[in-house]
Structure 1
């Protein structure tokens, strides 16, 4: 990668939109402000100024020009010959390796330990019908730490999740996402954060009573199997009656996480205000992670496809925009600077994405081309690489 760019330090006053960060920037208390690879916007620069950052490292091309994008660079790619669409991954593998930070390594370490602890907790539930509430609280403590990274944690979840032990990974992910979505909505007090996370990690605990061959069946479920799976929220709610340590808001959140605002969900088809706010948040977190995670019984999709689904379900009245809209907006911003794979096999970097009005999605390739894939009928993002 050294043949393609160098790193230079810029004062905040020298920054301009379109430049690419060459380092992960931390706040004075150690929280991630912006990740390496981020394509700077005016909002990002204002954020760096607010935290009194003196300067940051920026990636520069060998010519000495800061790496960014220029709309004049865009070329039509849809009519190119197939061999022109093949992009070497060597450029990106080196670049992606450069974005790995100590904070990301720390995230993976904590995440892995939490998955192990939750697996142990769920094993006790399965074998002894007992809920280790003390262990659960330690898991919640750890996930509070991970979710402090805010919306940026969503990108790390894509690299941390594994298809094996999907139930445990998914439960941890939904716990983190629920807290992030709840915080972004501004509808929950800080004291409710623990309940959001607890409801997230317990939302699928009822599936421990579902036969494994049904739960992980490849292909469509028959009518009886579907009915069985759809009972898992009610199974969990009944199980929680034995444990006074589980707050009522968590119990209702778990019971109703598959309910929808328009009454089209299950198991009770409750609608609107009858569904607890935690349940509404869990529904969004559950759908997003289920769609974007690796699993043995189905293919993962890109965050782009998941965003489209959640937005469509919000427009149709299934999800509350109060919770979905802030999440969708912030997630779009955090994906800028990430590397993606397109359906033609090429890899590029998302440098600009605007979903309001006429949607624009600019991808930069290693040869310097920047294209708007929204203008290319045959091109779409299928996977988030890094």
Structure 2
């Protein structure tokens, strides 16, 4: 059987099950080659997220959460979370902004650790969202923004600015009462009108800081709920008037909001979210280029993650056909059985399991 491994999880001696190719379709490592340390290191410098390895069919053991969570990653995440929370509180409650504190958050080590390709995707799905939903959501969007910046081959400065815009995407909600933000029932029209003001609130709040001179960041925060068909808010802008950052962040915001647990709604399967995003792309609401790129790359990075299936079983994603944007994965259950979710529509992925859920 073939099993996809994130590049950072490859080990010498593994047998390559499918040709590893670069973006120009040149074969870097051929099928059947035994991996060496040198070959593995050569892949780490390339935009390659996973490699298919040939393995014997066998039942799959569910590992403990210590094998799913990366200590260095979670430690870095927790540190940045605390600093971002303090920054939000200082800005919202006292109008204070510490540019040095933001620089500390955006330190190259943090940026490199948190936006580390497939590992970043697996870690933000494997970690339970403890603490403030708002801060976790903004941090997740910032991480996804870092990934998108790399997938788009943006300059380092643009990647840096896109991450900052992602981190501040919902800071305007600090000015909205918790009664509305945490309401479990359906929002009234008046309450939703208040919620929609968060984009302008956020724009105004960072407009009082040194970030005000950065048009990309300001527009990204203001426009992440605009839609390319003019149906978004706050200004109902058409695609031509929505900034690049606004169009990118719209996609990342939707994905993380739906794929993670919220106060008023349980998280969805990433593949259900991909279907929603793809519908919005086809209907002209979301940017086609950015949307398709995000779905294909994130889908690729989900290989190897543990999932809960609708039939009550658990399994691990082992293969995804990357030639189709709306392709569903092949899952290997803990019994060693393979389920092709493209052919077995009565079984669905309900959610990506966190490390705590896998080990429970």
Smaller-chain TM-score bracket: 0.7 to 0.9
Query: After superposition, what is the alpha-carbon deviation per residue over 1:12-33, rounded to whole angstroms, capped at 9, x for unaligned?
Result: xxxxx71565xx754xxxxx77
In structure 2, relative to structure 1, the CA distance for the partners of 1:19 and 1:67 (3 Å cut) is farther
Query: After superposition, what is the alpha-carbon deviation per residue over 1:177-204, rounded to whole angstroms, capped at 9, x for unaligned?
Result: 0121132123x22221111111011111
User: How do 1:227-376 residues align onto structure 2 when only pairs under 5 Å count?
Assistant: 227-246=193-212, 247-354=214-321, 356=323, 359=327, 361-376=329-344
Unaligned segments of structure 1, at least 5 residues: 1-16, 27-31, 70-87
Unaligned segments of structure 2, at least 5 residues: 22-26, 30-34, 43-50, 355-360
Query: After superposition, what is the alpha-carbon deviation per residue over 1:186-237, rounded to whole angstroms, capped at 9, x for unaligned?
Result: 3x22221111111011111111110110011102110111000101111122
Q: Is the 8 A contact 2:225 2:232 kept in 1?
A: yes
1:352 partner SS:
strand
Range that drifts further, 198-207 or 297-306: 297-306
Distance 1:324 1:279 in 2: 12
Distance 2:194 2:145 in 1: 25
1:53 partner SS:
helix
Range that drifts further, 236-245 or 104-113: 236-245
Q: What's the offset of the Cα at 1:328?
A: 1.1
User: How do 1:181-220 residues align onto structure 2 when only pairs under 5 Å count?
Assistant: 181-186=148-153, 188-220=154-186
Count, aligned residues: 332
Q: TM-score, normalised by structure 2?
A: 0.82
RMSD: 3.3
Distance 1:228 1:360 in 2: 37
Corresponding position: 1:52 with 2:39: yes
Q: What's the offset of the Cα at 1:162?
A: 0.9
In structure 2, relative to structure 1, the CA distance for the partners of 1:164 and 1:42 (3 Å cut) is same
1:363 partner SS:
strand
- Find the partner of 1:67 among 34, 44, 56: 56
Corresponding position: 1:167 with 2:134: yes
Q: Is the 8 A contact 2:115 2:146 kept in 1?
A: no
In structure 2, relative to structure 1, the CA distance for the partners of 1:43 and 1:359 (3 Å cut) is same
